[in-house]
Amino acid sequence: MFSLWDNVEMDKRDISVVGMKTIMEELNISYSTCYRWCKKGMPHYKVKGSKKVLFNRNKVQDWLESQ
C-alpha cells in the first residue's frame, strides 16, 4: 500500500492541493502510471483553459487506501 504522507516534509503537510509533478514524486510513480490511475478514478481536478492537473492529497490518500 502507498502512503502519500511518507515522502512529504512536515512543514509542507498543510498544503493539500498539489500539481502532477509533486504527486508523482511523492508517490514515486511515473507519468504513465499517474495518467492511468486518473483514468481509473483517482481524484483530480483539471484547470479550465490549460493542461494543468491538480490533486488533493487527502482525497488521493483516501482513494489509494480504498484500492
Residues spanned by the domain of 61? 16-66
Give the pLDDT band of residue 17 (cuts 50, 70, 90): confident
pLDDT at 19 over 80: yes
Percentage of residues of the chain with pLDDT beyond 90? 61
pLDDT, tens digit, for every residue of 43-61? 999 988 888 999 998 899 9
Measured CA to CA, the distance from residue 67 to residue 59 in angstroms comes to 13
Count the domains in the chain. 1
H or E element at residue 53: strand 53-56
Residue 10 half-sphere exposure toward CB, CA atoms < 13 A: 0
Residue 21 lies in a domain: yes
Residue 6 lies in a domain: no
Residue 43 lies in a domain: yes
Identify the pLDDT of residue 7. 67
Identify the pLDDT of residue 8. 67
Confidence (pTM) = 0.74
